[in-house]
Amino acid sequence: MLKRGRLMLWGVLGCVSANFNASPTNQLGRTPSLAANPLDSLLYNTPALSPVVNKAEQYELQVIYTRIQRNAQGKPRFQQFTYRLNDKAYFNPASLVKLPIALLSLEKLNALRRQVPALSRQSIMATGVAGRCQTAVPFAAPADTSNTATLGNYIKRMLLVSDNQAYNRLYEFLGQQYIHQRLAKAGYPSVRIVRRFAPCDTAANRYTNPITFYDATGKQLYHQPAVCNPAAPKPPLGRIVKGRGYYQAGKYVPLPYDFTTANYLPLRVVDELLRYTLFPDEQGTAPSFALTDTDYAFLRKYLGSTPAESGIRRYASPDFYPAYKKYLFYGRQRSAQPQGGLRIYNIVGMSHGYLADCAYFADQQAGVEFMLSAILYVNRDRILNDGQYEYTSVGLPFLQALGQTIYQFEADHARTNLKTERNKQ
């Protein structure tokens, strides 16, 4: 495991300690003091955020802001503030589910390596077919190792560009039953990850493909037969419907869209899993995943890298611009250049009008370090699958403004602390 303080990614970024303390959900209609709750104050008093905050219920807005301050030894302390956080307020998590799938995939690989030491993240992973709605990925010797079907490459693709096919392959590697048994043991019994990112029905998603691992010469290392979850997990929130209509196969259906059997992953859980991944030795009584130092370093690298930095040739395309997938600071601006000194480690989701980003910010130059997670719903006409969501006009500009607002608050606070320390000297 990582040694205590190992994840001081950008040096000691502050000297004031604070106990981890989540505030209760905040309500509209009041303007609290900055000292009492900086998140409330910044949300209410920042004009760029007002269009969404003033209609927070309509936009189903939830926000988690975690201040990170370090003592003289570099040990971090977390102080968390929340806005309208509610595990029972359903939202479609979309690609946020890729973070727990990455954690569980590495953990399962570690368990298999106790039986087959030759297995690794670089072992070639062939996926077979044994049922409806399954697709194959046959064995192929590596010509370009970054394109080879391996567990490591699938995780890279998920974290770098939110690749859906990579997620499907790892969902099948884990199996639906294993996912839920392991998450329940880790303290998340209500989380549901029950779907591929493919038009498969509920029954088909319970069946997962046979998978075989090989070395580069074609020698079989391990075979996992097709499996089936005998009983799909129960919906934790009961029946869930959204909107007033939806499109299916090009036809309009004038009924609310049913999310009852969809994936379910609360914002609180994603934020906690990201914090656990980045600070595995600072979680107190939080459950532990059986990961190694190398695993954590691997995850951190690709949570924080841009596609171009990965060295993967397919991501040299202009489609993967420098600020790709960093919504909580750059929105989706193709022309934006990453700010010098700032590194953002994050996971995002965008589907059915829901837009989410869970991120850790670290900037050594500015003395800034914090976490920020947010979800909002931008579907004014309340019709799903019509492609008429307000991602670019409302959602992404809001996330960009939110991240920049919190960043500026932290930067101002860091400058004030530095000036105070200098005056003491």
CA 91 to chain centre: 14
Domain presence at residue 159 = yes
Q: Smallest Cα–Cα separation from 353: which of 328, 322, 329, 376?
A: 376
In this structure, are residues 159 and 345 in contact, taking their beta carbons and an 8 Å threshold?
no
In this structure, are residues 63 and 136 in contact, taking their beta carbons and an 8 Å threshold?
no
pLDDT in tens, 60-89: 999 999 999 998 888 999 999 999 999 999
Q: For residues 119 and 192, state if they share a domain.
A: yes
Of 233, 257, 275, the position where a domain reaches its end is 233
Q: For residues 304 and 155, state if they share a domain.
A: no
Q: How many CB atoms lie within 10 A of CB 130?
A: 14
For the chain, what percentages of helix, strand and coil (3-state, to nearest 5) are there? Answer: 35, 20, 45
Q: For residues 105 and 82, state if they share a domain.
A: no
Q: What is the DSSP letter of 317?
A: S
In this structure, are residues 108 and 123 in contact, taking their beta carbons and an 8 Å threshold?
no
Indicate the pairing of strand 354-363 with strand 251-253. Answer: unpaired
> Which residue's entry shows tokens 């038009």?
199
Domain presence at residue 256 = no
Phi, psi of 80, deg, nearest 5: -110, 140
- Asked if pLDDT for residue 9 goes beyond 70, the answer is no
Domain presence at residue 46 = yes
Rounded alpha-carbon distances, angstroms, from residue 113 to 24, 218, 222, 394: 43, 18, 10, 47
Q: For residues 222 and 118, state if they share a domain.
A: yes
- The structure tokens listed for 276 are 């656990």
% of the chain residues with pLDDT over 70: 88
Better pLDDT: 293 or 418: 293
Rounded to the nearest integer, the mean pLDDT of the chain is 89
Of 191, 217, 233, the position where a domain reaches its end is 233
Domain presence at residue 289 = yes
Q: Smallest Cα–Cα separation from 140: which of 128, 123, 126, 127?
A: 126
Of 178, 213, 233, the position where a domain reaches its end is 233
CA angle 418, 300, 369 (to 5 degrees): 15
Secondary structure class of 156 (helix, strand, coil): helix
- Asked if pLDDT for residue 32 goes beyond 80, the answer is no
Q: For residues 57 and 140, state if they share a domain.
A: no
pLDDT at 24: 36
Query: How far is the C-alpha of 45 from the C-alpha of 34, rounded, in Å?
Result: 10
- With cut-offs at 50, 70 and 90, classify the pLDDT of residue 25: very low
Indicate the pairing of strand 220-224 with strand 211-214. Answer: antiparallel
> HEC profile for 350-418?
EECCEEEEEEEEEECCCCEEEEEEEEEECCCCCEECCCCCCHHHHHHHHHHHHHHHHHHHHHHHHHHHH
Mean pLDDT of 94-112: 98
Mean pLDDT of 394-418: 91
Domain of residue 187, residue span: 95-233
Domain presence at residue 5 = no
- β partners of residue 257: 242
Secondary structure class of 346 (helix, strand, coil): strand
Domain count, the chain: 2
Question: Quick one: which H or E segment has residue 168?
Answer: helix 164-174
Burial pattern 376-391, b for ≥16 Cβ within 10 A else e, equals bbbbeeebbbeeebbb
pLDDT in tens, 141-160: 776 788 899 999 999 999 99
CA 299 to chain centre: 12
Q: For residues 102 and 218, state if they share a domain.
A: yes
Domain presence at residue 14 = no
Domain presence at residue 393 = yes
* pTM (2 d.p.): 0.90
The contacts of residue 192 (CB under 8 Å, 6+ apart) are 180, 233, 235, 236, 262, 263, 264, 265
Better pLDDT: 28 or 335: 335
Domain presence at residue 286 = yes
Q: For residues 129 and 190, state if they share a domain.
A: yes
Q: For residues 288 and 403, state if they share a domain.
A: yes
Q: For residues 310 and 417, state if they share a domain.
A: yes
Mean pLDDT of 234-256: 95
The contacts of residue 376 (CB under 8 Å, 6+ apart) are 52, 59, 60, 61, 62, 354, 355, 356, 394, 395, 398, 399
The CA R_g of the chain, rounded to the nearest whole Å, is: 22
Q: For residues 416 and 271, state if they share a domain.
A: yes
User: DSSP letters of 230-295?
Assistant: SSPPPPTT---EESSEEEETTEEE-S-EE-TTS-B--HHHHHHHHHHHH-TTS-TT-------HHH
Q: For residues 403 and 377, state if they share a domain.
A: yes
Q: For residues 278 and 379, state if they share a domain.
A: yes
Query: How far is the C-alpha of 335 from the C-alpha of 323, rounded, in Å?
Result: 8
Mean pLDDT of 315-324: 91
pLDDT at 6: 40
pLDDT in tens, 156-174: 999 999 999 999 999 999 9
Which amino acid does the sequence have at 296? Y
Q: Smallest Cα–Cα separation from 9: which of 278, 325, 376, 206?
A: 278
